[in-house]
Structure 1
Amino acid sequence: MFYESRPQTPIRAPRGTTLVCNDWDTEAALRMLMNSLDPDVAIQPEELIVYGGAGRTARNWKEYQRIVNALKALKSDETLCIQSGKPVYVVRTHAWAPRIVIANSNMVPAWAKQEVFDTCDEVGLAMYGQMAAGSWIHIGTQGALQGTYETFAALARKAFDAETLKGKFVLTAGMGGMGSAQPLAVTMNEGTILCVEARKERIEKKVREGYCDKMTSSLDDALQWILDAKSQHQPLSVGLVGNAAEIYPELAKRDIVPDVITDQTPAHDLMSYVPVGDVQELDKLRERNKRAYKEKVLDAIVDQVKAILEMQRKGAVCFDSGNNLRSQAEMAGVSMRDADGRYWYPGFVSAFIRPLFCQGKGPFRWVALSGDAVDIEKIDDAVIKNFPEDASLVRWIKLAREKVPLLGLPARICWLGYGDRAKMGLIINDMIRKGVVKAPVVIGRDHFDCGSAASPYCETEGMKDGSDAVADWSLINFALNAINGASWVSFQHGGGMGIGNSLHAGMVIVADGTKERDERLERVLTADPGMGIARHADAGYEGAIQAARGKGVVIPE
Structure 2
Amino acid sequence: MARPMYYEEKPKGSIKAYTGGELHCKNWDAEAALRMLMNNLDPHVAVNPDELIVYGGSGRAARNWREYNRIVKALQTLENNETLCIQSGKPVYIAPTHKEAPRVIIANSNIVPKWATQENFDRYDELGLTMYGQMTAGSWIYIGTQGILQGTYETLAAVAKTHFNSDSLKDKFVLTAGMGGMSGAQPMAATMNEAVILDVEVREERIRRKVEEGYCDRITSRIDEAIKWVMEAKREETPLSVGLVGNAAKVHPELVNRNITPDIVTDQTPAHDLSSYVPIGDLKELDELREADREEYHRRALSSIRLHVEAILEMQRRGAIVFDYGNNLREQAERAGVDIRDEKDGFKYKGFVLEYIRPLFCVGKGPFRWAALSGDPEDIEAIDAKILKMFPEDKALARWIKLASKKVPTLGLPSRVCWLGYGNRAKLGVEINRMVASGEIKAPVVIGRDHLDCGSAASPYRETEGMMDGSDAIADWPLLNFALNAINGASWVSFHHGGGVGIGNSLHAGLVIVADGTDEREERLKRVLTVDPGIGIARHVDAGYQIAMDIAKQKMVKIPQ
TM range (shorter): over 0.9
Corresponding residue SS for 2:496: strand
Is 1:105 the equivalent of 2:109? Answer: yes
Alignment partner of 2:268 out of 264, 269, 272: 264
User: 2:535 & 2:233 partners in 1: Cα distance?
Assistant: 43
1:491 is matched with 495
Is 1:81 the equivalent of 2:85? Answer: yes
Residue type of the alignment partner of 1:239: G
Please give the TM-score of this superposition, normalised by the length of structure 2: 0.99
2:96 is matched with 92
Alignment partner of 1:192 out of 191, 196, 207: 196
CA offset at residue 66 of structure 1? Answer: 0.3
User: 1:352 & 1:249 partners in 2: Cα distance?
Assistant: 27
Deviations 1:376-399 (A, max 9, x none): 000000011101100000000000
Deviations 1:344-386 (A, max 9, x none): 0000000000000000000110000000000000000001110
Alignment partner of 1:338 out of 336, 342, 367: 342
1:532 is matched with 536
Deviations 1:489-540 (A, max 9, x none): 0000000000000000000000000111110000000000011100000000
Is 1:180 the equivalent of 2:197? Answer: no
1:288 is matched with 292
2:12 is matched with 8
CA offset at residue 221 of structure 1? Answer: 0.5
- Divergent runs of 4+, >4 A: none
User: 1:292 & 1:468 partners in 2: Cα distance?
Assistant: 33
User: 1:67 & 1:503 partners in 2: Cα distance?
Assistant: 24
Is 1:349 the equivalent of 2:353? Answer: yes
Corresponding residue SS for 1:496: coil
User: 2:226 & 2:92 partners in 1: Cα distance?
Assistant: 51
Within a 5 Å distance, the mapping from 1:351-366 to structure 2 comes to 351-366=355-370
Corresponding residue SS for 1:540: coil
User: 2:17 & 2:362 partners in 1: Cα distance?
Assistant: 36
CA offset at residue 282 of structure 1? Answer: 0.7
User: 2:307 & 2:349 partners in 1: Cα distance?
Assistant: 16
Residue type of the alignment partner of 2:222: S
Residue type of the alignment partner of 1:258: P
User: 2:160 & 2:507 partners in 1: Cα distance?
Assistant: 30
1:400 is matched with 404
Please give the TM-score of this superposition, normalised by the length of structure 1: 1.00
1:46 is matched with 50
Task: Report the count of equivalent residues.
Answer: 557
CA offset at residue 342 of structure 1? Answer: 1.1
Within a 5 Å distance, the mapping from 1:61-76 to structure 2 comes to 61-76=65-80
Supply the RMSD in Å over aligned alpha carbons.
0.4
CA offset at residue 123 of structure 1? Answer: 0.3
Is 1:35 the equivalent of 2:47? Answer: no
Alignment partner of 2:384 out of 377, 380, 384: 380
2:557 is matched with 553
Deviations 1:267-289 (A, max 9, x none): 00000011001111110111111
User: 2:240 & 2:163 partners in 1: Cα distance?
Assistant: 20
User: 1:371 & 1:364 partners in 2: Cα distance?
Assistant: 19
CA offset at residue 266 of structure 1? Answer: 0.2
2:462 is matched with 458
Residue type of the alignment partner of 1:30: L
Corresponding residue SS for 1:239: strand
CA offset at residue 78 of structure 1? Answer: 0.1
2:230 is matched with 226
User: 1:495 & 1:516 partners in 2: Cα distance?
Assistant: 33
Residue type of the alignment partner of 1:86: K
Percent of paired sites with the same residue: 67
User: 2:505 & 2:170 partners in 1: Cα distance?
Assistant: 35
1:544 is matched with 548
Corresponding residue SS for 2:500: helix
Alignment partner of 2:169 out of 165, 181, 187: 165
Corresponding residue SS for 2:106: strand
Alignment partner of 1:521 out of 514, 521, 525: 525
Deviations 1:324-343 (A, max 9, x none): 00000001111111111110
Deviations 1:289-314 (A, max 9, x none): 11111111000000000000000000
User: 2:386 & 2:448 partners in 1: Cα distance?
Assistant: 18
User: 2:309 & 2:543 partners in 1: Cα distance?
Assistant: 31
Is 1:416 the equivalent of 2:416? Answer: no
Alignment partner of 1:25 out of 22, 29, 42: 29
Deviations 1:442-464 (A, max 9, x none): 00001000000000000000000
Corresponding residue SS for 2:94: strand
Alignment partner of 1:300 out of 304, 317, 330: 304
CA offset at residue 258 of structure 1? Answer: 0.1
CA offset at residue 8 of structure 1? Answer: 1.2
User: 1:123 & 1:538 partners in 2: Cα distance?
Assistant: 41
1:276 is matched with 280
Residue type of the alignment partner of 1:127: M
User: 2:429 & 2:276 partners in 1: Cα distance?
Assistant: 37
CA offset at residue 111 of structure 1? Answer: 0.5
Corresponding residue SS for 2:381: helix
CA offset at residue 159 of structure 1? Answer: 1.2
CA offset at residue 551 of structure 1? Answer: 0.4
Is 1:114 the equivalent of 2:131? Answer: no
Alignment partner of 1:369 out of 351, 370, 373: 373
Corresponding residue SS for 1:90: strand
1:322 is matched with 326
Corresponding residue SS for 1:495: coil
Residue type of the alignment partner of 2:413: L
Corresponding residue SS for 2:162: helix
CA offset at residue 155 of structure 1? Answer: 0.9
Is 1:434 the equivalent of 2:438? Answer: yes
